Amino acid sequence: MSPDGTDIASIATALVALGCPGDAAAAMAAQLDKRARQLAVERGLAHGDALAHLLRLMAGGWAAQARGIRVDS
């Protein structure tokens, strides 16, 4: 669990539901939680709002990949 009470396992479960490869979900969840905390401070957001924003971005990226759209640079 992160310092603010966010359950990393729950984030990992959400990531898998959005299309994240299962073997990478735990590591990605920890990174996503860390970035959400940073973003919350930078933009004056609640952690949950920052996390939701990042999850939407990731879901969009995986959806684009599933449609065959390249999302890397």
**Parent domain of 31:** 8-66
In a domain, 22, yes or no: yes
Confidence (pTM): 0.75
CA 25, 13, 38, 55 torsion-angle sign:
positive
User: Could you tell me which of 44, 50, 41 has the C-alpha nearest to residue 6?
Assistant: 50
Confidence at residue 6, expressed as pLDDT on a 0 to 100 scale: 67
Give the chain's domain count.
Answer: 1
Q: Is position 59 within any domain?
A: yes
pLDDT band at 13 (very low <50, low <70, confident <90, very high): very high
Report the percentage of the chain scoring pLDDT > 70. Answer: 74
Sign, CA dihedral 68-31-18-52, equals negative
